[in-house]
Chain A
């Protein structure tokens, strides 16, 4: 079975600073994908970034980067230059290659302060 653990229920960051949201995962599979989603209060899940288990480079998408440490089974999200609009819930998720379902963590609520 797969499990995603997000140990930070809430985080505060000052505007324009960088912040790291932690994610660890547990799986016996060798091939899998890791995802980060943002969920504003409106409810929509917004895809941010993806990392495949065999990708050698850490994924980056604009201000988002994923710090992937396979041996430690961690996939932390780094947001650079935080903006007020980054305030939201952030979910880490994984999916076994070839399978259908995403397994989500419990989320981290990020609040960006001016």
Chain B
């Protein structure tokens, strides 16, 4: 069975641009969470979606938004990119809202 898949694997953007990251959960998993991992730190929670509804939000500005589609895949959007948004963005899926998280390989975003 396929695990959590994220695309693209790497991305380079410039300040002020917008970016969309994509995530496909494990088949049957209805919950998707997004985390940001800055170099040298642990991941920080951004969003969780379950059954297409936002179920949790971390301490991130409104420039960050997300949505979940009927097939449970998800997109994370970041507007007006800043240098500090450079990070590994991890997507995780769970079978239930509070289940064990299964992570993808992440999208490495670099802002120039």
**Residues in chain A within 8 A of chain B (CB atoms):** 4, 35, 37, 42-47, 50, 91, 93, 95, 97-107
Contact = CB atoms under 8 A, between A and B. Distances in A.
Contact of B58 (A47, A91, A101): A101
A105 B108 contact: no
B98 A99 contact: yes
Contacts of B42: 4, 91, 93, 104-107
Nearest to A37: B103
B97 A106 contact: no
A36 B25 CA distance: 21
A25 B97 CA distance: 23
Given A45-B43, A50-B100, A107-B42, A100 B105 contact: no
A104 B98 contact: no
Contact of A101 (B40, B45, B90): B45
Given A91-B42, A104-B43, A97 B98 contact: yes
Size bracket, chain B contacts:
20 to 34
Contact of B45 (A35, A91, A102): A102
A99 B106 contact: no
Nearest to A4: B42
Contact of B92 (A43, A45, A98, A106): A45
Contact of B44 (A42, A45, A104, A107): A104
Q: Which of B35, B45, B100 has the most CB of A within 10 A?
A: B45
A106 B41 contact: yes
Contacts of A97: 98
11 contacts: A43-B88, A43-B106, A45-B92, A47-B102, A50-B100, A99-B98, A100-B45, A100-B98, A101-B45, A102-B101, A105-B42
B15 interface: no
B73 interface: no
Given A104-B42, A106-B40, 11 more contacts: A43-B88, A43-B90, A43-B106, A47-B101, A91-B42, A95-B98, A100-B45, A100-B98, A101-B48, A102-B33, A104-B43
